[in-house]
A and B are shown apart, each in its own frame.
Chain A
Amino acid sequence: MNRRGFIASLTVVSTLIGLMLSLQISARSASSQDDGGGNQSSLDLQEELMEQNQEHKLLLQQIEKAEKQLLTFETSGSSYEDRKKALEKDAAQLKAAAGITPVTGAGLEITIQADPTLPGYDANTVFDPQLNLTPVINYLFAQGAKAISINGYRFVGTSSLRDVGDEKNPVLQVNGHSIAPPYVIKAIGDVRAMNAVLTANGFAKNFNEIGEDFTVQTMSSLTVPGYHDVLPGRYAKEVTQ
């Protein structure tokens, strides 16, 4: 009887110890995750502060610009010619900001096309242009590209890059226009930063692996055309007050 009792208690004790250990371990791992979470939220705050600072600067810039613009109107005469001039000046600035005016400057010209001499080339594999070109455009804009066009179509605030073909015959549309390879992306901006981001993401290598040539040329001057398609404003109206 005593022996049985001893065994029973020993069993209970061992079980409890086992349970304790496992709980302790899980509690530990949970608390170590907590620490991670704590650091994370500290980083988040830092990041948010950076963002708010950045937004503050941008807002001040925009306010300054708006004040200047307002001043132009306030100081311009009331004659027809004066009013026309003020409106045209306003229009020129806005067209540039919206991407309607062509831009000339230093930039990159990227040419992408199938190359049968590449080891990764496979005549049966279809290149998905939307999937593959979207990140290129996005990374370039993220590096502060001032203007980007794809096969002559300017990428603006309402632009899209979309494959409207089927699985075997992709047809890429930019701003609703169908384009065909070679895909030529022109990007004006900080060529060093843009080149760096393309290299860092291994675009040339990745494209080559699927049989696509990815050639980047750095140009001291190239021109990206302006946007010439539908302007918004049919459905969206400005809120002015």
Chain B
Amino acid sequence: MRTRAKLSLSLTVVAMVLGFMVTLQYRQTLLARVSDVTASYTDGRQKELADKVAQLERVNKDALKRLQNLNGEIAAYEKESAGADAQLTSIQQNLSRYRILAGTTPVEGPGISVTLMDGQYNGVGSVSDYTTHDWEVNYVINELFTAGAEAVSINNYRVVANSGIFCIGPVITVNNHRLVAPFQIQAIGDPAVLKGALEMQGGILDLLRNVEDIKVSAVKVEQNIQMPAFTAAVTAPPSEGAAQSTKSSEGKQG
């Protein structure tokens, strides 16, 4: 009987120690999850990459500032060239409209803002979750342009309708988008018309709230929204392959 008691005692001790270890392990894992980002940066290569990215970001910020100054100077010259002449002034005033259409200069004006948040997303999820978001964001943007929006941005990235599927920032290939919820969408245009178009009964926001199950903020009217220029190429650089493949498939054309 004493051996049995001993056995029970030792088993209990072992179990307690193991239990303690497990708890420790679990807590460490939890901690690691929380500090996932910081942890991954401790890796040398990661840090190097992060430094490079930060450096380039600074360089690009300066370049953007330089571009803005240049555009300011150009605008001043344009105005000066037009002078007091009515015909030249009318050309000059259109220049600004062309640039706004192309999205190549920063703009400001009245409009609306709305924020889309994921209703269920909990930080794990699959890639397809993101894709759905882009589709939803795209849908809202389409609606805003339909309602006459003159300039649109998402999370302060200027968006132009002809920049490709996920239309964010400089990367316009389909799989390289980098948007993270929440998405703040801003649009410059007639605030009442834009607000009305989004909030229409059975409209896009109703659909997103009720069918797609995502959180949508109230549409806010803004007196003055500022947006940066679209920094991707307005016209894509010509591809070397284009001429060749056209030649080889000439027979197909009708």
DSSP majority for the A interface? Answer: helix
In the complex, whether A205 has a CB less than 8 A from a CB of chain B is no
B63 touching A56, Cβ below 8 Å: yes
A66 touching B74, Cβ below 8 Å: yes
B-contacting residues, A94-137, CB 8 Å:
94-100, 106, 134-135
Stretch of A41-49, A178-186, A206-214 lying at the B interface:
A41-49
A235 touching B190, Cβ below 8 Å: yes
In the complex, whether B128 has a CB less than 8 A from a CB of chain A is no
Known: A9-B8, A192-B241, A236-B150. A220 touches B165 (CB 8 A): no
In the complex, whether B83 has a CB less than 8 A from a CB of chain A is yes
B36 touching A41, Cβ below 8 Å: yes
B107 touching A190, Cβ below 8 Å: no
Q: How far is the CA of A37 from the CA of B123 in the complex (A)?
A: 11
Known: A55-B170, A94-B99, A159-B145. A13 touches B15 (CB 8 A): yes
Q: Which residues of A contact B111 (CB under 8 A)?
A: 235
Indicate which residue in A24, A41, A53, A74 contacts B77 across the interface (CB closer than 8 Å).
Answer: A74
Q: Which residues of B contact A135 (CB under 8 A)?
A: 165
B161 touching A155, Cβ below 8 Å: yes
What 1/0 mask marks residues of chain A from 193 to 236 whose CB sits below 8 Å from any chain B CB?
A: 10100000000000000000000011110000001001111111
Which of under 10, 10 to 19, 20 to 34, or 35 or more describes the interface residues of A? 35 or more
Q: How far is the CA of A18 from the CA of B101 in the complex (A)?
A: 65
Residues of A within 8 A of B (CB): 2, 5-6, 9-10, 12-13, 16-17, 19-20, 23-24, 26-27, 30-31, 33-34, 37-38, 41-42, 44-56, 58-63, 66-67, 69-70, 73-74, 76, 80, 83-84, 86-88, 90-91, 94-100, 106, 134-135, 138-139, 141-148, 155-162, 173, 176, 189-193, 195, 217-220, 227, 230-241
List 27 A-B residue pairs with CB atoms under 8 Å apart, sorted by A's residue number.
A6-B8, A30-B29, A33-B33, A33-B124, A38-B43, A41-B41, A42-B40, A50-B171, A54-B171, A55-B169, A91-B98, A98-B102, A99-B102, A138-B174, A144-B237, A146-B235, A159-B162, A160-B145, A191-B245, A192-B245, A195-B245, A233-B96, A234-B150, A236-B109, A237-B108, A238-B75, A241-B69
Residues of B within 8 A of A (CB): 1, 4-5, 7-9, 11-12, 14-16, 18-19, 22-23, 25-26, 29-30, 32-33, 36-37, 39-41, 43, 45-46, 49-50, 52-53, 56-57, 59-60, 63-64, 66-78, 81-83, 85, 87-88, 91-111, 124, 138, 142-143, 145-146, 148-151, 160-166, 169-174, 176, 178, 188-190, 226, 230-239, 241-247, 249-250, 252-254
